[in-house]
Amino acid sequence: MLAFIGGTGLTRMANLEITARHDITTRFGKPSAPVLEGELEGQKVLFLARHGDPHILLPHQVNYRANLVALKEAGASAIVAANAVGGITDQAPTGALVLPDQIIDYTYGREMTLFDDLAEPLVHVDFSWPFDAALRNALKVELSASSLSWTDGGCYAATQGPRLETAAEIARLERDGCDIVGMTGMPEAVLARELELPYAMLSLVVNPAAGKSTHEITMAEIEAVIHDGMASVCQLLADFARQYSPA
């Protein structure tokens, strides 16, 4: 079953007809919210609010391990994760969607693996290409058919948060080759890989990153873009659910 993880601005999917709520407790604890099962454009899907419902969890407080394991236990076979990001390079203008193909992890102190039980074998997963190619290609087809502004490819910088970055930090990320910056891409992406769940990320650029505009970043500015942009993301995901066929 296709699963969606909703980030900032996508705590609920207005077009999801909920048929079941899975209140799952994993060996890593409880996820951010119950896993919702429902009908989206006639297709059965799962949905999980990354930051809780209501939105109460900061990026470093999210129990990513419980979230991913709960989705797997609820029947997820592939995951599309939506998130709000800052734009660093010209290929990530405010209001556009980015379908990243790479990620650099700058987080620290987060639980990064499911394989930390000394009674279990140690596993090192290949993470050369962090996002599933087939799932990304399917999303590209849907994005190409839409009227939305979007970019194919880009590197996502996963920072710790919850504060926004300094201009010097953004300059460093750009030198490292990053195009967008967010706070939730890791360890979410690698945990999906450990669970052998195809995973792709759909990132809405909600503001120019620090030092990339002539004015101070304000939450009012970000929230205005999120309001309109996440509504478009929600509809795109519904259209995608109708067309997507898991391998």
Domains held by the chain: number = 1
Distance CA 151, CA 235 (A): 18
| H helices, E strands: number in the chain | 5, 11
pTM of this prediction? 0.94
Q: Under a CB-based contact definition with an 8 Å cutoff, are residues 69 and 26 in contact?
A: yes
Is 208 a known ligand-binding residue?
yes
Is 159 a known ligand-binding residue?
no
Is 51 a known ligand-binding residue?
yes
Is 83 a known ligand-binding residue?
no
We report the CATH number of the domain holding residue 144 as: 3.40.50.1580
Distance CA 76, CA 122 (A): 24
Distance CA 247, CA 78 (A): 9
**235: containing domain:** 2-243
Is 183 a known ligand-binding residue?
yes
Is 50 a known ligand-binding residue?
yes
Q: pLDDT tens digits, the chain, 247 residues: what are they?
A: 999 999 988 888 888 999 999 999 999 999 999 999 999 888 999 999 999 999 999 999 999 999 999 999 999 999 999 999 999 999 999 999 999 999 999 999 999 999 988 777 788 999 999 999 999 999 999 999 999 999 999 999 999 999 999 999 999 999 999 999 999 999 999 999 999 999 999 999 999 999 998 777 777 888 888 888 888 999 999 999 988 876 5
E strand spans, 7-149:
17-22, 35-40, 43-49, 78-87, 97-99, 102-105
Query: What sign does the CA torsion over 170, 175, 178, 184 have?
Result: negative
Distance CA 173, CA 185 (A): 15
Is 3 a known ligand-binding residue?
no
Is 137 a known ligand-binding residue?
no
